[in-house]
Structure 1
């Protein structure tokens, strides 16, 4: 059962930052078409703080039907509309994608992609991603590269597609968490802070292709 116009949605946002990912926001459906829901800009629960969403950002959404049952689906931001107020366009799920069980499997895929990074002190390094999604990624880094939580990095990502074509995505990311592995290497969780819609779309396209590969194996 799809949520209807004026239905209240409860939203969590995919983030490499566990604290941010645990926050819940509230919104309302303003309009519906064959492929999308148009929703109001989400507001954080318990406050009047609005949450700015970005193209490609992944969302876990729940709503409560008239019989009191909470339903869940995962989706992502596909655009924006300027009406009397600003509205966010999100992908309408398939009926089979709606479940009574919460599934926090965002569109984040495991992938070892080459990425060049430049620190704020202009030092450069090359690393491999561990996973990637529309909102951020994780990358392995050697201890010799000075990196710290909160640091901003300029990044150049190499993206191979199924048709053998290769794209490059450029963006700026912030280090939100660093984990030291048993090998001594660092696993750094990054969130995108400056990325164009076209660059983000390259990453989302790769993620969809990779998920399709998983399903056909």
Structure 2
């Protein structure tokens, strides 16, 4: 396997071994001494690492994503007072390639209808809006809890510019997580995993995802 190496300026996501939280940073420098990254943050919360602590690191190449396990080997303060961690270089054999279609998700708000998958009564169909989408699932904002394991039918339409078409999807999905994100308005974010998606459907969703990624990058 040809591994796309980390580059200076590349975004990385750091996952401590004992947490599920994702911390975001970027590569400030790379030399023989290690990989230098500014202290990663999850929202406003910094990642606190001690020397020798092991973490997972993910990064995105041209057409794949990669993950490796490494450890913090030191800290450094740049002249501009930017504190950073030094991570140990991984061996090429320790860098694992993962499928982009399962990893990449983009924020987008589109209308989606959902209903228990066994119900045919239109009265059970409810409307919600997506928070993000990937080739493997989507996160949806709803006004009621949808508990882990719940099976639903998701119906939504994507405008795929590169294909010059609007494509409707009707996909069986399963709730894999549910989180209350707004106590006052009782808004829940529910993560759904697509269960019966065909390769052709997944390719169309990924085409939409990459279009959306390009739009976001142009605005930055």
- TM-score band by shorter chain is 0.5 to 0.7
Structure 1 stretches of at least 4 aligned residues deviating more than 4 Å after TM superposition = 71-75
1:84-130 alpha-carbon deviations (Å, 9 max, x no partner): xxxxxxxxxxxxxxxxxxxxx94100000111111146221111100
Structure 1: how far apart are the matches of 2:2 and 2:154?
A: 39
Structure 2: how far apart are the matches of 1:174 and 1:215?
A: 31
Match of 1:55 in 2: none
Match of 2:146 in 1: 147
Equivalence map 1:19-38=2 (5 Å)? none
Distance 1:135 1:60, change over 3 A: farther
Q: 101, 105, 125: which one pairs with 1:108?
A: 105
Match of 1:136 in 2: 137
Return the TM-score normalized by structure 1. Answer: 0.53
Match of 1:181 in 2: 181
Structure 1: how far apart are the matches of 2:96 and 2:159?
A: 29
Q: Secondary structure at the match of 2:195?
A: strand
Match of 2:91 in 1: 70
How many equivalent pairs are there?
136
Structure 1: how far apart are the matches of 2:153 and 2:65?
A: 25
1:1-37 alpha-carbon deviations (Å, 9 max, x no partner): 935xxxxxxxxxxxxxx97x9xxxxxxxxxxxxxxxx
The answer (yes or no) to whether the contact 1:136–1:191 under 8 Å persists in 2 is: yes
Q: Secondary structure at the match of 2:179?
A: strand
User: Gaps spanning 5+ residues in structure 1: where?
Assistant: 4-17, 22-57, 79-104
Q: Secondary structure at the match of 1:194?
A: coil
Kindly indicate whether structure 1 or structure 2 has the higher relative contact order, using CA contacts under 8 Å at least 6 residues apart: 1
Structure 2: how far apart are the matches of 1:77 and 1:213?
A: 18
Match of 2:58 in 1: none
Aligned residues: CA RMSD: 3.4
1:162-189 alpha-carbon deviations (Å, 9 max, x no partner): 3663111221110011111222111101
The answer (yes or no) to whether the contact 1:119–1:147 under 8 Å persists in 2 is: no
Structure 2: how far apart are the matches of 1:139 and 1:216?
A: 25
